[in-house]
Amino acid sequence: MLRHSLRRLLGLIPTLLMLITVAFFMMRVAPGGPFDSEKSLPPEIEANLNAKYHLDDPLLKQYFHYLGQVAVLDFGPSFQYKDWTVNELIAQGFPVSMTVGVLAMSLAFIVGTLLGIAAALRQNTRIDYSLMGVAMLGISIPNFVIAPILILVLAVYAGWLPAGGWDGGFASMVLPVLTLALPATAYIARLTRGSMIEVLHSNFIRTARAKGLPESVVIRRHALRPVLLPVISFMGPAMAGMISGSVVIERIFSIPGLGSYFVQGALNRDYTLVMGVVILYGVLIILLNFVVDLIYAWLNPKIRYDETS
Amino acid sequence: MSLLAVRNLDVNFDTPDGEVHAVTKLNFSISAGDALGIVGESGSGKTQTMMAVMGLLAENGHASGQALFKGHDLLQMDTAELNHHRGKEIAMIFQDPMTSLNPYLSIEKQMVEVVMHHQGLSKAEARAHALEMLSAVRIPDPERRIRQYPHEYSGGMRQRVMVAMGLVCEPDLLIADEPTTALDVTVQAQICQLMSELRRKSNTAIILITHDLGVVAGLCDKVLVMYAGHPVECGSVEQIYYRPRHPYTKGLLDSVPRLDQPEEKGLHAIPGNPPNLLSLPRGCRFRERCPKAFADCVEAPPMSVDSEGHAYRCFLDEPA
């Protein structure tokens, strides 16, 4: 198991190298550059700027220079936010996005699985239909519609919560976390329900019932593991998306997270910032998929890796 | 008093196409320590009969009539009451050993939980008991094997584990639903031998559901033949095998391939198919496939019993 994990983590390096290469050259292929603006700069100044950021070097040289920087985890200066390095921007934005993302995903997981199981156990009753109806709404209503409604009801009319802003306190987290969690909750609830219904019809559940175990034990001990498998594999990549920041939610609630940097960076051709965020996202995806694999192996004995093999 | 007495059992399923009559007016009983074989082709209702007894019918299925186990009607019990009997006094072994064990739990967990739940033993005691049972069904090296998962067992070994799991609480009744169908012949013989040994040792009654007449002959004293949800014949193994009264039973026996018959006769098959359980024909349900059908058969024949206790559902008053 340990050996297998190490090998998997080493496999991260070529994947990231490929990601960096593709992203690097795609950015450069896109028309425009970081210092293009409506008023064109005097050619001397532009030449000086390009020289300062090594943008006048041959592309391959720039690429290997950048690889060297990344190897020591230095993502370079931001072209747009000129007083900041990309490392500083990420260090500032990522914790905020991660807090919101992790809270939202945990909420979605707990509430989603519970609702899904409740619906599955009452399959084709009114409770099941209404839960799944609400879940369908949760999936299909976009978050830029849900967010203003939540703000209007909970912040403006009721006055319980701030309408936006971020002070790291609980009250300022509630609305963004709720908004972010809602579609994921709905999706997980539907996933869990489907999975539960399928598992409850399997032969080994019949065996467990024939053993005379109480239904609660049948569900907890025998059904839960296989039910959670598809949920876990959904949560890995979804988690990466959620903790690397949602542009819409960060804009609406004025949260200083990572999501807005990504979009701004792409629009401004802020090469280093975009590369930094892309690499971070790539690392997150790979790491979380790795975690998913570990949880999978823990839940499912069939895919546990032997030391011998 | 018989251990299990099934009286007027009907099992029906609501389907989008109408009501499926899986079992109609079934009566049988089994005494402590007896072995009863229930035979019939696929869809004859043998499995659903046992599912009804165990309270394991699918959601769209419902049973009526009585299934008296030690005088208490299993069909009237809710799940909590049923759970006092299931696994403890009545155990069931299923057809498909590959999928009937939980692939996510070790054999140890799956065996120990039954013992702990029903006998209130500690984990260590339950484990010792489970190990004993695994040795009894001849799992080699049980100390190591018990920690493994179902996918590390072969099909035959899984079925032996199922037998061990069924018998671990020393039930009064073991229901085995085609326990050997999915296994190859040598393993079949082992499982059958195992069940008859355990039956002798612990006086457990066995209901064996199968379409394999050979298995029944080896293991059972009484046989119930079912056709399209109806019991058609019931008697001792000798009566059924040597003096079948119902043409369907005769047909079943003739379709067993035999080495002592000339090759050119080929395999015997009963022509036609069983009737559609959605709309059963009036009269004898075997009428359309019966080589001896005559005018009276448009009326449903009652179950007749001869002087030796051999019961059959046919108007013919002669051995078939």
Q: List strands edge to edge, sheet with B18-30.
A: B18-30, B4-15, B61-69, B72-73
**Residue-wise burial string across B35-64, b where 16 or more C-beta atoms lie within 10 A, e elsewhere:** bbbbbbbebbbbbbbbbbbbbbbeeebebe
- Best interface-test mutation with B: which of A207, A295, A302 has the largest number of B CBs within 10 A? A207
> Which A positions 176-205 lie with beta carbon below 8 A of chain B?
202-204
Q: SS3 of B4, please?
A: strand
Euclidean distance between CA atoms A250 and A227, whole angstroms: 33
Contacts of B80 (CB under 8 A, 6+ apart): A214
3-state secondary structure B208-229: EEECCHHHHHHHCCEEEEEECC
Q: Yes or no: say if A101 and A244 are a contact pair by the CB < 8 Å rule.
A: yes
Question: CA geometry: angle at B209 spanning B206 and B211, to 5°?
Answer: 140
pLDDT at residue A305 in the model: 60
Q: What is the mean pLDDT of residues B87-110?
A: 92
Q: Which residue of A has its CA nearest to B148?
A: A301
Asked if A207 reaches chain B (Cβ–Cβ under 8 Å), the answer is yes
Tracing tokens 């701030």 back to the chain, one arrives at: A162
CA distances (Å), A80 to each of A89, A90, A123, A264, B190, in order? 11, 14, 54, 9, 78
The reply to whether residue A213 touches residue B106, judged by beta carbons under 8 angstroms, is no
The reply to whether residue B104 touches residue A300, judged by beta carbons under 8 angstroms, is yes
Chain A to chain B Cβ contacts (< 8 Å):
76
Residues counted in chain A: 309
Q: Which residue has the higher pLDDT, B51 or B213?
A: B51
Euclidean distance between CA atoms B190 and B138, whole angstroms: 10
Chain A residues near residue B158 by CB distance under 8 angstroms: none
Q: What is the mean pLDDT of residues B256-271?
A: 76
Convert the pLDDT of each residue in B209-255 to its tens digit.
988 888 888 889 999 999 999 899 999 999 999 999 899 998 888 88
* Joined tokens for residue B267: 């395999």
Q: Which residue of A has its CA nearest to B175?
A: A210
> Which of B92, B117, B149 has its CB closest to that of A210?
B92
In angstroms, the separation between the Cα of residue A235 and the nearest Cα of chain B is 21
The reply to whether residue A212 touches residue B117, judged by beta carbons under 8 angstroms, is yes
Asked if B79 reaches chain A (Cβ–Cβ under 8 Å), the answer is yes
> Which of B87, B102, B151 has its CB closest to that of A212?
B87
Tell me the pairing of strands B4-15 and B18-30: antiparallel
Fill in the amino acid letter for B220: C
Percent of chain B residues past pLDDT 90, beyond the cut: 51
The reply to whether residue A210 touches residue B79, judged by beta carbons under 8 angstroms, is no
> Which B positions 47-76 lie with beta carbon below 8 A of chain A?
54-56, 59
pLDDT at residue A38 in the model: 67
* Joined tokens for residue A239: 């988690």
Q: Yes or no: say if A52 and A34 are a contact pair by the CB < 8 Å rule.
A: no
The reply to whether residue B149 touches residue A209, judged by beta carbons under 8 angstroms, is no
Q: List strands edge to edge, sheet with B230-236.
A: B90-93, B173-177, B205-210, B35-39, B222-227, B230-236, B311-312, B304-305
Contacts of B157 (CB under 8 A, 6+ apart): B139
Asked if A209 reaches chain B (Cβ–Cβ under 8 Å), the answer is yes
ipTM: 0.89
Q: What is the mean pLDDT of residues B269-293?
A: 86
Ranges of chain A with pLDDT below 50: 307-309
Q: What is the mean pLDDT of residues B21-35?
A: 92
Residue B182: pLDDT band by 50, 70, 90 thresholds? confident
> Which of A211, A217, A226 has its CB closest to that of B86?
A211
Chain A residues near residue B74 by CB distance under 8 angstroms: none
pLDDT at residue B319 in the model: 67
Q: Which residue of A has its CA nearest to B113?
A: A213
pLDDT at B264 over 80: no
pLDDT at residue B320 in the model: 60
The reply to whether residue A302 touches residue B103, judged by beta carbons under 8 angstroms, is yes
In angstroms, the separation between the Cα of residue A153 and the nearest Cα of chain B is 43
Tell me the pairing of strands B90-93 and B173-177: parallel
